[in-house]
Structures are given as C-alpha cells and as structure tokens.
Amino acid sequence: MNVLHICANPKPAEQSVSKQLSIAFISTLIEKNPDIEINNVDLYQDPPPFMSYAGFRGLWQPVFDPTYKPAKDEVKATEYATRHAEMFNAADVLVLTMPMWNFGPPAIMKAWIDQVLTPGKTFEFGLTEAGGIDIRPLHKVRRVILLVSSGGSYTEGDPRDALTPMIRSLFGFIGIQDVTIAWADGQTALLYGDHEERKQTAIDAATETAEDIAAEAEPAQA
C-alpha cells in the first residue's frame, strides 16, 4: 500500500495541532505496518505554482482541442502537475494535513489541488453512451483522510465551514467518495477551555483511522 501525505502548514510541529494529528497518524501507520510505503510532501518545501495562463493551456487545452501542441513554456508550466500527479497516481490513500484558514484550506493547498486535479493527469473526460460526459479516474486512490485543525468550533454541515465540503466535492468529482475527517476544532485557547481534550479526541480519531488503514493493507513481512 502506498500512502501519499500532503502537508500544508508552515508551523513547526510543536506549534501546529494539525501537524500533531499527522504525526499520530503516520507514526501509527509505521508502527502497525512498516511495509506501508509513505510519501511525505511538505508543500512549503515543494510549493506549487499558482495556475498561470501557460499552465492552464498546457493542462486544459487538450480537452478542448485534440490537435493542440503545447509551446515550450506551456510544457514547462505543467512540470509540477506532472510530477505531483505521478505521486498521486501511485497512491492508494491520500492524507491531507492543514489548518482551516478563512473557513477554507490554505491557499498553498488549493494551489496543489489546482495542479493535480487536472485532466489527462489524474482523471479524464469520457463520453457516456447517452452522449453525456463522465469523469474517468486515472488514479487508484480509494480513500482520502483529512487531518484539520480550526480555532472555532464547527460540526460538519455548518454553513461557515467551506473546507470539509470542498474536500468531499473535489475528491468525489474524481471518483473518491471515501473521505474520513479527524478535526481538532475549538483550538482557540481563549475561547475553548476544553481545547486540549478536543485535540486529544482528534488525535485519537486520527490514530484509529491509521489503525484501520494499516489493517487493510497487506500484512507486514515477518
């Protein structure tokens, strides 16, 4: 089993609740099944470009014009997408670590998504028999795990939360319906006296999810 972990948080782990969730998650995976291949990507070390015009043409123009031949700068502008789509397509499980910023994901995570969820890279458009358009995955990711921390307290379905519905919609669009969320909400210490308990509950949820995934994977070699 191959697990791709994408982390979008500039803080050191001891100051980041979401990174602490990911440490619990990844260390449990390693402990329970050392044969699982884990690919850790820190987006602050390997930052995605914002989508440029050349990138847009290089990535999306083939959908609209099958005769399109990319110019040199357009090929160059797709290099990040190509490299990261390869990592994505090699994965069985995707883990996303991030804080909630302004009710959504950090911009660097959104920029990564704009690069990787692109046609010809991780999915393609097909025609249904009825003449409609469908989405065909080119990847084999079957589960997404979202490890998130927020200052405020929300439950899923809260209209202020633009993050968790976005992640569900985005990955649902490319055929991944199985999204598990470990969410340390209420992390503003001044407002939530029980923020430590909330964090621990989320760490426990992340650990349990990692145990499930380790159990699903091929047993570790003796």
Whether 50 contacts 85, CB under 8 Å: no
Regarding 187 and contact with ligand FMN (CB under 6 A), the answer is: yes
Regarding 18 and contact with ligand FMN (CB under 6 A), the answer is: yes
Stretch that binds ligand FMN, among 74-82, 99-107, 112-120, 208-216 (CB under 6 A): 99-107
Whether 161 contacts 197, CB under 8 Å: no
Q: Which is nearer to ligand FMN, 56 or 101 (CB)?
A: 101
Regarding 151 and contact with ligand FMN (CB under 6 A), the answer is: yes
Residue 161 CA to residue 156 CA, distance in Å, equals 7
Q: Which is nearer to ligand FMN, 18 or 78 (CB)?
A: 18
Residues in the chain: 222
Residue from the set 28, 33, 115, 149 that interacts with ligand FMN by CB under 6 A: 149
Residue from the set 150, 164, 207, 209 that interacts with ligand FMN by CB under 6 A: 150
Q: How far is CA 171 from CA 15, 130, 137, 167, in A?
A: 29, 24, 10, 6
Stretch that binds ligand FMN, among 9-17, 36-44, 59-67, 212-220 (CB under 6 A): 9-17
Regarding 192 and contact with ligand FMN (CB under 6 A), the answer is: no
Residue 124 has φ and ψ, to the nearest 5°, of -140, 160
Q: What is the DSSP letter of 119?
A: B
Stretch that binds ligand FMN, among 44-52, 68-76, 94-102, 125-133 (CB under 6 A): 94-102
Regarding 164 and contact with ligand FMN (CB under 6 A), the answer is: no
Kind and range of the H or E element at 124?
strand 123-127
Residue numbers 101-140 binding ligand FMN by CB under 6 A: 101-103
Token duo for residue 104: 């959504």
Residue 31 has φ and ψ, to the nearest 5°, of -65, -45
Whether 114 contacts 24, CB under 8 Å: no
Minimum CB separation from ligand FMN for residue 87, in Å? 23
Q: For binding to ligand FMN (CB under 6 A), which residues are involved?
A: 9, 11, 16-19, 99-103, 149-152, 187
